[in-house]
Amino acid sequence: MSGKVRDKKENCFLIFAPKNDHYKQMLTNISRPTLLVNENQCRSNIQSMLTKATTNGAVFRPHFKTHQSGLIGKWFADAGIKAITVSSVKMATYFATHGWKDITIAFPVNLRELDAIDQLACRVRLQLVVDDEQVFEQIGQQVKNACEFMIKIDVGYQRAGIPMENAEAIASLAARIQNSKQHKLRGLLTHAGQNYRAGGGISQVEATTRIAGEKMQALRHVIGRSDLVLSWGDTPSCSMLNHIPYFDEWRPGNFVFYDVMQYHIGSCQFSDIAVAMACPVVSVYPERGELLMYGGSVHFSGDYIAGDNNFRLYGYVVPLTENGWGQPLPSAYVASLSQEHGIVRMSQAQLKFYKPGDLIGILPIHSCLTADAVEKMQSTTGFLIPKM
């Protein structure tokens, strides 16, 4: 198995022999779509976001749903991070077994998991998210171990939470939690998911963030608790904006890997993307300007970026190099995905350097869903990265 790098003069590829024996052996053994992880870039992304949050006076509580790995979690711990966010009780339990003691489950409580929540609450400092008084009442009756609660605020995404304009309902739920003898109200939590669709670029992201921040600060005064934590979390705003003075806590997650979607939003550069999928080449069709790879929607998800004339981008093609992978190849991209199949379009000059049995590298559109789809990941230095 050999890798390829693009010759700048010929706009094609050259065969190379990787210097790292572990990496070379790992590439040789790949038979199915495999997510490659650049550890150095991940650590750099972690440190950059930590520094940015600290500079803005916020506690950094990163979301671990992107990587879902105890080993990558250790890279965060190595940077001095002590509190995390997850998206499910199962994920919270997994990271609790890896030593994390301060965990927020940033998903509204599922009443069918109260027994598991109660068991977890006796092991860690657990923060739960609610947006419904009846749900909290049932939690209070069944969960005996003390928990802290965050009220979910909808700042315009319309996925979950009490609309930020409904101060009366928010204050009523806050009062209900504060009257509990067992549980405590910790703060207000939100996620501006609309920033992932910010066609207006940085100005739109800044406006969404400012409006949400000012409204949540006002809600803190309505509740009458100046100590309530205001928790914020989305990679676009935390990456693109230098000054976010409204919140006490940041919870971005995607930034550890980044992806093509974040590149197009403006959150990162290609060099910041820390994952690429290595996919086996199955067939080559020079007359069509396409090749077939083993790598479909079950590996990448069905996410795409839409362009004019029904154009859809499902991923960029990168050459696998002795250090991992290089910059995207000009005019080469994943044009379509079905369950297991992926169709890659590229020039005939590029195609002639691929044959069945080779590997092709793909930068994913959405790294969170791509990482969730794989059973394990591989470091570009050759070691296995287990995940939950």
Q: Where are the alpha helices (DSSP H) in the chain?
A: 21-29, 39-55, 70-78, 89-97, 114-121, 133-142, 167-178, 201-223, 235-240, 260-265, 297-300, 348-351, 367-373
What per-residue confidence (pLDDT) applies to 17? 36
What per-residue confidence (pLDDT) applies to 46? 98
Q: What is the mean pLDDT of residues 3-19?
A: 36
Arithmetic mean of pLDDT over the chain: 93
Angle at 101 between CA 99 and CA 103, to 5 degrees: 115
CATH of domain 3-38+274-386: 2.40.37.20
Q: Single out the residue of 314, 323, 312, 276 nearest to residue 296, CA to CA.
A: 314
Q: Single out the residue of 252, 239, 264, 374 nearest to residue 316, CA to CA.
A: 264
Beta carbons within 10 angstroms of residue 222's beta carbon: 12
Beta carbons within 10 angstroms of residue 53's beta carbon: 23
Q: What is the mean pLDDT of residues 154-160?
A: 93
Confidence of residue 18 (pLDDT cuts 50, 70, 90): very low
**CA atoms of 240 and 333, how far apart (whole Å):** 26
Q: What is the mean pLDDT of residues 260-282?
A: 97
Q: Report whether 70 contacts 94 (CB < 8 A).
A: yes
Q: Does residue 255 have a pLDDT over 90?
A: yes
What length is written for the chain?
A: 388
What per-residue confidence (pLDDT) applies to 20? 62
Q: Is 341 exposed, middle or buried (0-12, 13-18, 19+ CB in 10 A)?
A: middle
Q: What is the mean pLDDT of residues 206-216?
A: 96
Q: Looking at domain 40-257, what is its CATH homologous superfamily?
A: Alanine racemase (3.20.20.10)
The rounded percent of the chain whose pLDDT value lies above 70 is 95
Q: Does residue 43 have a pLDDT over 60?
A: yes
Q: What is the pLDDT of residues 213-239, one digit of tens each?
A: 999 999 999 999 999 999 999 999 999
Q: Does residue 149 have a pLDDT over 50?
A: yes
The ranges of the chain annotated as CATH 2.40.37.20 are 3-38+274-386
The ranges of the chain annotated as CATH 3.20.20.10 are 40-257
DSSP string, 108-131: E--GGGHHHHHHHHTTSEEEEEE-
Q: Report whether 61 contacts 83 (CB < 8 A).
A: yes
pTM: 0.93
The rounded percent of the chain whose pLDDT value lies above 90 is 87
Q: Single out the residue of 247, 228, 226 nearest to residue 238, CA to CA.
A: 247
Beta carbons within 10 angstroms of residue 118's beta carbon: 16
Q: Does residue 67 have a pLDDT over 90?
A: yes
What per-residue confidence (pLDDT) applies to 323? 80
Of 21-35, 155-169, 199-213, 352-366, give the lowest mean pLDDT range. Answer: 21-35
Q: Does residue 2 have a pLDDT over 70?
A: no
The residues near 314 (Cβ < 8 Å, ≥ 6 apart) are: 300, 303, 304, 333, 334, 335, 336, 337, 342, 365
What per-residue confidence (pLDDT) applies to 27? 85
Q: What is the pLDDT of residues 99-144, one digit of tens each?
A: 999 999 999 999 999 999 999 999 999 999 999 999 999 999 999 9
Confidence of residue 62 (pLDDT cuts 50, 70, 90): very high
